[in-house]
Amino acid sequence: MYHLECIECDKTYPASELIHTCVECGGLLEVAYDLDKISVDFVESNQPQSVWKYRALLPFPADFKPVTIQEGGTPLYKLDTLAKTIGATNVYVKHEGLNPTGSFKDRGMTVGVSKAVELGMTTVACASTGNTSASLAIYGAKAQIPAVVLLPEGKVALGKVAQALMHGAKVLSVRGNFDDALALVRQLCDSEGFYLLNSINPFRLEGQKTIAFEVAESLGWKAPDVLVLPVGNAGNISAIYKGFKELKALGIIDSIPRMCGIQAEGAAPIVEAFNKTKNMIQPEMNPETIATAIRIGNPVNAAKALRALYESGGTAISVTDEQIVDAQIKLARLEGIGVEPASATSVAGLIKLMENGTIKRDEVAVCITTGHLLKDPEEVIRMCEPPIVVDATVESITKAVFG
């Protein structure tokens, strides 16, 4: 029913093969299904949304028991006050920060760690800007498999480090950036037989594609006109595009949204490639942005992401740190949606794309907010006015409230 397939040379491998890339050409792998043999039961089902609701399109035997802590089923909010300020009428936010560990990574990890269990792997590992490591630590704990995580020293938000530590991962702080840590963990997995759970692992992306399924289902099994999301290592944009493609191939939806990838100005190699070098990525050697989750200069899934952008007729743009923080504050104060900076890039990008006419004000646009506000409390403390300290008297309090 499913196997691995190279996106460059189409070579196929059994799903049990322990490889990260194509042995023939080095291309990225994806999970391919015999779609005509699959009976899709979830369209008629009134079960609540969750990653495993869609298991007909996940790569496991029907009787496999997954490692799960109830991921997915995140709300799709229609924006109100913020939408009015930009003259938009059909803008939605899917708040992936409301997953169990506070980010969309849980969708990938429930599938990825389940695959590790199915394959009998004894240690799981990843490099991370934070959220992947938090999620891996938690699913490792649930499965009782040791987890090793490599983080770029000094560049991971506090909440994410706290999660990885508390759930018992071996946390290594690498003197280098995320791209260095990823290169190292790939070597470590090869030499030690650890199971690599970065998004180069195609099974992880299978879990993340359920974002597309939930969005389409919430809109009455229809695709939005555009889907806007932050891009770092470029796994999520590839996964969500694949999800929409599968629904279209099955005749469940009749169109695919234009995929719009948003990067931070100081870490925008996909945007550069999209605008200048087409399929050639020029790695950004010193990526820098307040959105530490997407502080990535050499995205491993670039080839898949660029395909998603070109084939869907989408676009890739960058936004400044100021625009990111502005969107984060607007989401928080106009809509009650608390997100970490990387997540706010989707809304910052949407605003820019509406201003320049790439997205029309009445189009159905879905922004993915990928991680929760509490992931990065230090950024909030730096950005916002501190609490006003008052004496414990009514007089002092009213004076502070009314100025």
- Binding residues vs ligand F0G (CB under 6 A): 103, 105, 128-132, 199, 230-236, 293-294, 340, 342-343, 370-371
Picking from 262, 334, 293, 284, the residue whose alpha carbon sits closest to that of residue 151 is 293
Our CB check for ligand F0G shows the closer of 205 and 256 to be 205
Q: How far is the CB of 340 from ligand F0G (least distance, A)?
A: 6
Spatial separation of the C-alpha atoms in residues 246 and 338, rounded to whole Å: 31
What residue type is assigned to position 276 of the chain? K
Q: How far is the CB of 133 from ligand F0G (least distance, A)?
A: 6
List % helix, strand, coil for the chain (3-state, nearest 5): 45, 15, 40
Our CB check for ligand F0G shows the closer of 315 and 370 to be 370
Instruction: Give the pair of three-digit tokens for residue 202.
Output: 């195609």
CB proximity list for 270: less than 8 A, separation 6 or greater:
231, 234, 261, 263, 281, 299, 302, 305, 306, 309, 316
Spatial separation of the C-alpha atoms in residues 237 and 128, rounded to whole Å: 17
Exposed / middle / buried, residue 112 (Cβ in 10 Å: 0-12, 13-18, 19+): buried
51-71 b/e with 16+ CB inside 10 Å = b? bbbbbbbbbbeeeeebbbeeb
How many distinct helices (H) and strands (E) make up the chain? 14, 13
Our CB check for ligand F0G shows the closer of 151 and 353 to be 151
Q: How far is the CB of 401 from ligand F0G (least distance, A)?
A: 35
Report whether 125 contacts 132 (CB < 8 A).
no
Q: How far is the CB of 111 from ligand F0G (least distance, A)?
A: 14
Our CB check for ligand F0G shows the closer of 238 and 252 to be 238
Q: How far is the CB of 286 from ligand F0G (least distance, A)?
A: 17
Our CB check for ligand F0G shows the closer of 130 and 252 to be 130
Our CB check for ligand F0G shows the closer of 68 and 201 to be 201
Q: What is the DSSP string of 248-269?
A: HHTTS-S--PEEEEEEETTB-H
Picking from 392, 373, 372, the residue whose alpha carbon sits closest to that of residue 384 is 373
Our CB check for ligand F0G shows the closer of 130 and 269 to be 130
Q: How far is the CB of 235 from ligand F0G (least distance, A)?
A: 3
Q: How far is the CB of 296 from ligand F0G (least distance, A)?
A: 6
